[in-house]
Amino acid sequence: MINGMKALNRSLRWGMVGGGGTSQIGYIHRSAALRDSNFTLLAGAFDIDAERGRAFGQSIGVAADRCYSDYETMFAAEAQREDGIEVVSIATPNNTHFPICQAALNAGLHVVCEKPLCFTTAEADELEQLCAEKNKVIGVTYGYAGHQLIHQAREMIAAGQLGDIRIINMQFAHGFHHEAVELENASTRWRVDPRFVGPSYVLGDLATHPLFIAETMVPDLQVTRLLCSRQSFVQSRAPLEDNAFVLMEYNNGAVGTMWASAVNCGSMHGQKVRVIGSKASLEWWDEQPNQLRYEVQGEPVRILERGMGYLAASALADDRIGGGHPEGLFEAWSNLYRRFAQAMDATDRRDSAFLQDFWYPGVHAGLAGVRWVEKCVASADAGAVWVDC
């Protein structure tokens, strides 16, 4: 169980690009990174408006001279300091992720980045190669993948409790954008603008989350081909989709489905992953994250609860409080940031033995998400045809 002790013998010196006072996601980055004192926030280029960003940075305790107008200035200035940052988190619109990641790695910094890392597989390949060249880590914030019951499912599947995996059903389908809310909401507006988000909306913004959760649960399965159909029910969003369906085939003969939607009226969040085997099924739903459904044909449904002694050691290791108390998104993100810190430290020490079996969503996970979205868009734009992956 995590009890607040640092995972490392020091705190990593940390900065942020974006994540200022108008950001939807900046606070959760800071809450997650600072939770266990594995990071210390020392610098930031928090806002495209330099004065607003400086005021915000000072309001959360960052020194005025380390609140920068832009990331280039921050990287250059921090490199000249003995106490300069070692890690940077990127919480900016999607179209900026690639150049900022690239600049950060070239500045000798580890990176935590929102997904998608970039818009093309070629760019993602470049970042993966740059990580290897610079001996640095990119952590990708697939937030709920840090929840303990995802890892309980992984252990149960690896142990054969589901038998041969046949079907994986995934969805992330909420209803909050069933109308053109972007006309009144600036934080939504950029998410449906191709200039900022690239070739997709819900496929990249939503679907990659349950996709990565499923990949975490069943890491040996690889998508071999897929077929995608996408729709723009709010016509002003075209060519970006606000609803999409994807059929997938896996390398073991299993099949998968994905439903991503922002127009599922009445749904609060609707992120679910169901893995179906020849013996049993598992289902996890992010609105009830502390329960994992285990269903064996002909037997009563079993609800596995977070924090209980019957769970696998890997599922108990990331608990922060005893069973019965709810843990959710903030705790899952904190678990990810804790793992990012450990991966960064081990990488700096070139501890390949530690990293060999150490799980975290890294640059390759980001690359896989970019490639999957790219294939989905290609399939849909060709008239919903099968494409090889």
pTM of the model as a whole: 0.96
Are the beta carbons of 269 and 286 closer than 8 angstroms? yes
Mean pLDDT by 10 residues, the chain (389 residues): 92 98 94 96 97 97 98 98 98 96 98 96 98 98 97 98 98 97 90 94 97 98 98 96 98 98 96 98 98 97 97 96 94 97 98 96 97 98 98
111: left (phi over 0), alpha (psi -120 to 50) or beta: beta
93 upstream amide cis, omega within 30 of 0? no
* 192-239 pLDDT, tens digit each: 999 999 999 999 999 999 999 999 999 999 999 999 999 999 999 999
What is the model's pLDDT at position 186? 83
Amino acid 187: pLDDT? 80
Q: Looking at the DSSP assignment, which residues form a beta bridge with residue 14? A: 41, 87
Q: Which two tokens stand for residue 209?
A: 């989350």
Q: Classify burial at 312, counting beta carbons within 10 Å of its beta carbon; exposed 0-12, middle 13-18, buried 19 or more.
A: middle
Q: What is the pLDDT of residue 286?
A: 97
- pLDDT given for residue 4 in this prediction: 86
Distance CA 238, CA 119 (A): 18
Pairing of strands 12-18, 87-91: parallel
